[in-house]
């Protein structure tokens, strides 16, 4: 009999692929009429619920408060509305951060002018803008994931009570671990797919794409599962308050 961890890993490999396919299928749906629009909204909802349930199950299982895979899946399904609200909040926050990022041109020019006048040395606006973009990049990949990931783990176990996790300061080392694993799960696979090595013919190019795509997907699924393990392990009493001890 396969262990719950083995089942979880296999389900992640299959489930993530199906979810990505569902997202790709949604992009190809035309919105020329009301029927197509409703179908598009249904596919988006199915995509979001499937992703939240799959990864919520992993968060609940790795917390150690649920003894079996089935109980972890039931916990994530029961708390799916709370996870959906958290996902919406996260999307809104990232949207606002991107709005700020796109409006940094004038502040960068003003700051560059002030620095040039103050220190009597030329400071170019593109240099200042690059620093601004780097700060925004750290906010998107380090600060916000360190805030949202532990809350998602708490919600997968305790539902709406898990939102109280927002009031706690994330640990430094766990925040760094989340940052590194998130880069390995998302940023690194994207860079691997963007890299196109020179090949002698079309067949070699296709083979290269398939190999890079396979490696990128394994990085995505594997490091995402490891990220959920690191996020959920060793959670404080908030994650255990409503769960019975399992011998």
Q: Is residue 96 situated within a structural domain?
A: yes
Per-10-residue mean pLDDT for the chain, 247 residues long?
Answer: 74 87 79 76 88 91 76 91 95 95 90 87 89 94 92 92 83 90 92 85 87 92 92 52 39
Contact predicate 62/228, CB 8 Å: yes
Q: Is residue 110 situated within a structural domain?
A: yes
Q: Is residue 88 situated within a structural domain?
A: yes
Give the Cα separation of 18 and 20 in Å (integer).
5
Give the Cα separation of 174 and 31 in Å (integer).
43
pLDDT of residue 237: 36
Give the Cα separation of 52 and 81 in Å (integer).
10
pLDDT of residue 6: 80
Mark residue 121 as left, alpha or beta (left: phi above 0; alpha: psi -120 to 50; beta: remaining).
Answer: beta
Give the Cα separation of 84 and 75 in Å (integer).
14
Q: Whole-model pTM?
A: 0.82
* Tally of residues, the chain: 247
- For 33-38, the CB contacts below 8 A with 24+ separation are none
Residue 170 structure tokens: 């994330």
Q: Is residue 247 situated within a structural domain?
A: no
Distance of CA 196 to the CA centre of its chain: 25
End-to-end Cα separation, the chain, in angstroms? 20
Q: CA-CA-CA-CA torsion for 13, 16, 21, 26, nearest 10 degrees? A: 170
With the C-alpha atoms ordered 77, 78, 82, 85, is the resulting torsion angle positive or negative?
positive
Q: Is residue 111 situated within a structural domain?
A: yes
3-class secondary-structure state, position 49: helix
Domain span including residue 210:
4-239
- Please name the residue that has the structure tokens 């176990």: 157
Domain count, the chain: 1
The strand ranges marked E within 60-175 are none
pLDDT of residue 120: 80
pLDDT of residue 2: 62
């Amino acid at each position: 009999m396969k262990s719950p961890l083995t089942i979880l890993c296999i389900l992640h490999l299959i489930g993530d692929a199906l979810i990505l396919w569902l997202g790709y299928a949604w992009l190809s749906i035309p919105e020329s009429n009301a029927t197509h629009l409703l179908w598009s909204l249904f596919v988006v909802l199915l995509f979001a619920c499937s992703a939240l349930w799959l990864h919520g199950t992993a968060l609940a299982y790795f917390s150690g408060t649920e003894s079996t895979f089935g109980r972890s899946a039931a916990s994530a399904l029961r708390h799916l509305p709370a996870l959906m609200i958290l996902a919406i909040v996260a999307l809104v926050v990232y949207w606002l951060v991107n709005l700020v990022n796109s409006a940094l041109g004038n502040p960068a020019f003003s700051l560059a002018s002030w620095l040039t006048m103050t220190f009597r040395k030329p400071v170019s606006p593109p240099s200042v803008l690059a620093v601004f973009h780097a700060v925004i990049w750290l906010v998107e990949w380090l600060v916000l994931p360190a805030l949202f990931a532990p809350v998602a783990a708490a919600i997968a176990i305790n539902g709406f009570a898990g939102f109280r996790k927002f009031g706690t300061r994330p640990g430094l080392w766990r925040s760094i671990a989340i940052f590194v694993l998130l880069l390995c799960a998302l940023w690194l696979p994207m860079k691997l797919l963007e890299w196109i090595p020179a090949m002698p013919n079309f067949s070699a190019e296709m083979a290269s794409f398939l190999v890079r795509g396979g490696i990128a997907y394994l990085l995505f699924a594997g490091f995402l599962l490891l990220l959920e393990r690191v996020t959920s392990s060793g959670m404080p009493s908030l994650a255990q308050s409503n769960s019975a001890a399992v011998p």
